[in-house]
Copies of this chain bind each other. A is one copy, B any other.
Amino acid sequence: MDTLLDFAQTFAIQLQKPTLAFLLGGMAVAAFGSKLSIPDSVYRFIVFMLLMRIGLEGGMEIREADFRAILLPAIFAVVIGCAIVLIGRFSLASLSAVNKTDGIATAGLFGAVSASTLAAGLVVLEENEIFFEAWVPALYPFMDIPALVVAIVLAHMSEQKTNGKNTERPKAWPILVDSLRGSALSALILGMILGLITRPEQVFEEFYDPTFKGLLSILMLIMGIEAWGRLSELAKVAHWFAIYALAAPIIHGLLGFGFGYLAHLATGFSPGGVILLAIIAASNSDISGPPTLRAGIPKANPSAYIGSSTAIGTPVAIAVCIPLFITLADIIFA
């Protein structure tokens, strides 16, 4: 009961914070039928700015990091990414009302990671002055890429079985390279490398850092507008997608939290790191995942997986999961 109250309170506080407020504001504005929109080029630039900022900071702080401490969370990230897709494969995708290929693609997207949710999580942790290891955002690709690879391979296997035909099996390597070449991961990794091997401290402090929260507020507005706009898409596919999209971020986040807790016990992974790992697990890819899945699982209907992710998954991950895991950490690490 207390927990629930705690969560309600954290949630109420978060609601007042710009991150969540702009997300809901975007949804409200779109629901009202407003023509307000942020130009596409501005959106893409904002995503670049946020990921470059996250990458630079990660890179600069990783210099002093103990690489052994990173190892376990990184392995866990891979495991979580794969596990989420397998869970989806044997829950959502095995329902008779759900097209199997669509279900697997959706599970792949929910296993993958959202840059905007990650950025929102970072800001909320900072606002709550919760410490976390600066390299935690670097876990992103470790969960993201395996999830996409597993989803594409599973979809292929399932189609094989249905068609009987023996087409070439998809290889992990090209999918991995393709993922790394996506604009989101490229920006993040470039930022990390620049942070690690050069001295971008000044430009970070004068430019990338001070604009972070402001740009995030605009990104949240965009995500809110987009979420509302995609709801109609989702209405065209089976209800199960909506139900999955509601529950999955919470379940995946708890899975992430559990693994994070193990790492806490084993190697002293910080509570903030545990929360962040849970947020990464709860998130579902909105930028880089969809094109990779579209190319890798062409028979899957994008309305199903993009609708599930953008219209419901991401708002739930940001609005429900972030405050939820902070509350949970409060209780567990109290």
Contacts and interface: CB of A to CB of B under 8 A. Distances in A.
A10 interface: no
Contacts of A29: 186, 190
Interface residues of A, number: 49
B186 A34 contact: yes
Given A18-B194, A36-B48, A36-B183, 6 more contacts: A35-B182, A35-B183, A35-B186, A38-B48, A39-B41, A40-B41
Interface in A181-213: 181-183, 186-187, 190, 193-194, 197-200, 202-203, 206-208, 210-211, 213
Most chain B CB atoms below 10 A, which of A181, A199, A214? A214
B214 A208 contact: yes
A10 to B, nearest CB: 14
A94 interface: no
A38 B45 contact: yes
A304 to B, nearest CB: 24
Copies of the protein in its oligomer: 3
Nearest to A288: B35
A32 interface: yes
Interface of A: 15-18, 21-22, 25, 28-29, 32-42, 44-45, 48, 127, 177, 180-183, 186-187, 190, 193-194, 197-200, 202-203, 206-208, 210-211, 213-215, 217
A213 B199 CA distance: 14
A123 to B, nearest CB: 9
B190 A25 contact: yes
28 contacts: A15-B198, A16-B197, A16-B198, A17-B199, A18-B198, A18-B199, A21-B194, A29-B186, A34-B180, A34-B183, A35-B181, A35-B186, A36-B187, A39-B41, A39-B42, A39-B44, A41-B42, A42-B42, A127-B202, A200-B217, A203-B213, A203-B217, A206-B210, A206-B214, A207-B210, A207-B217, A208-B214, A211-B214
